[in-house]
Structure 1
């Protein structure tokens, strides 16, 4: 059964998505679809049982707050990655976008190039595959998916996915090709996403990034984001058949 693309586990009031972890055969990813509060211990145990039944030998969670982490830690999961969580108000004081950077709406035909940029920009642990890109695009009720290309015939140099849910806006994914980092593309895409959030009434923006991504942290600091301790964490468990 290993390799099933995606399964939504409906466990009482809790919902979790179980799918493969990109680039690691035998590792499953458990995504909490009811964020903001902890799932029950019974739901956690049922999710682990489902992962074992599908043949996974390792299970990781999506990025969780410390409250969301509690039932998984009780079940035997352990932290494997720490992320910084940052936020800023978006009702005023948004910087201008660099007008020399041409940002356009992403098309379905851009998806392979988007994934190529993503895999060049991130280390294997954080890279997206097609399933991960789909999850990012449906993580919030409303999304804003934009790409940058230096010229009509050039490869994509960066992309960003922003999302909205009520008054909250999210910079869900931002990736720039390593050869084009430090040229303002990331800032332009982030500002474009923030302006979209503000235009539709969002009041607060959120973003997270691995704690060791100093370049990303520097960018978000320059854009007025502030750290929210203690941040987020990815948990994992080695599964017994």
Structure 2
């Protein structure tokens, strides 16, 4: 590291991470950390995380995942590369996200032997567009979440996202953390329930602020798939957010999920190239 790249520890490191995140979000329009990393920092600080932090940037490694960010005024001077090299010295598989498809991230990934693995699209829909009515299948009720629904929600979430590396791992503690966030509203967590009370699916919405809502998570029980519940729950959530007065609704979707893309495109969501998050992965090496 260069002399100006003094590594920080403890509370100084945590404060620097917070300030770099703020500067990046303000400049780039996206937080350099995803929700899982945000919640870890909020509840555990840097405990259990290998951290290389300066006042102008940071690299955080937890297991096989690396998060890297450099404050906008300190970019183009090699700090990101120096931090990335430190975080990637240990052999083994590593993945890292570029929240926003930054050319500098692509160049750095190529230099360090990372390949482009996944693309996550942000799609947006103006609330001014008219919405079709919500028409649940016979025997299905759409209702708000209640405290007694937690176990069923986790069960459906785990089954629906069994092959999803992030969402499928949510447990009781993770659910509690999300429900403790300022944005949580039980009325924005919509459940599709059968005549027998069985939870068939859910649409968890999020309201970021007065102007922006989000299709946060839609999960359908494998036993209930193929009956149009995804579209019904999507519409129910969009109607809920429109009633809250948001100007637009956004969502995140894998770029190769053709069925979801058809659904969202048909409901008026669009994607701009700049609204692309990219995951890079380095294969294991010795």
What TM-score, normalized to structure 2?
0.60
Choose from 13, 19, 43 the match for 1:13: 19
Name which structure has the greater RCO, CA cutoff 8 Å, separation 6+. Answer: 1
Mapped to 2, the partners of 1:57 and 1:135 lie a distance apart of 30
Partner of 1:3: none
> Counterpart of 1:74?
108
| 2:152 corresponding residue in structure 1 | 113
- The residue that corresponds to 1:124 in the other structure is 163
Rounded Cα–Cα distance in structure 2 between residues aligned with 1:72 and 1:113: 41
More strand as a share of residues: 1
Gaps of 5+ in 2: 1-13, 22-32, 41-47, 49-61
SS at match of 2:226: coil
- What corresponds to 2:26 in structure 1? none
Residues 1:233 and 2:278 are matched in the alignment? yes
Distance in 2 (alpha carbons) for counterparts of 1:193 and 1:65: 26
* Cα separation, 1, equivalents of 2:225 and 2:193: 13
In the other structure, the counterpart of 1:84 is: 121
Between the two proteins, the alignment pairs up a number of residues equal to: 223
C-alpha RMSD of the superposition: 4.2
CA distance in 1, matches of 2:244, 2:141: 22
Counterpart check, 1:172 vs 2:216: yes
Shift of 1:171: 0.5
Q: Tell which deviates more after alignment, 128-137 or 89-98.
A: 128-137
1:196 counterpart residue number = 240
Unaligned runs of 5+ in 1: 1-7
Higher helix share: 2
Q: Tell me by how many angstroms 1:90 deviates.
A: 1.1
CA spacing shift, 1:174–1:137, aligned 2, 3 Å: farther
Deviation at residue 222 of structure 1 after TM alignment = 2.3
1:136–1:172 CA contact under 8 A, matched in 2: no
Task: Tell whether the 8 Å contact from 1:26 to 1:56 is kept in structure 2 after alignment.
Answer: no
User: What's the counterpart of residue 131 of structure 2?
Assistant: 94
Greater C-alpha radius of gyration: 2
C-alpha separation in 2, matches of 1:211 and 1:89: 21
TM-score, structure 1 normalization = 0.69
Instruction: Return closer, same or farther for 1:44/1:181 CA change in 2, 3 Å cut-off.
Output: farther
Deviation at 1:136, TM superposition (A): 5.8
Contact 2:98–2:278 at 8 Å: present in 1 too? yes
Runs of 4+ in structure 1 over 6 Å off: 37-41, 43-52, 238-241
Provide the secondary structure at the position in 2 that maps to 1:197.
helix
- 1:5 corresponds to which residue? none
* Alignment correspondent of 1:146: 190
Asked whether the 8 Å contact 2:162–2:168 carries over to 1, the reply is: no
Q: Provide closer, same or farther for how the CA distance between residues 12 and 172 of structure 1 changes in structure 2, counting only shifts above 3 A.
A: closer
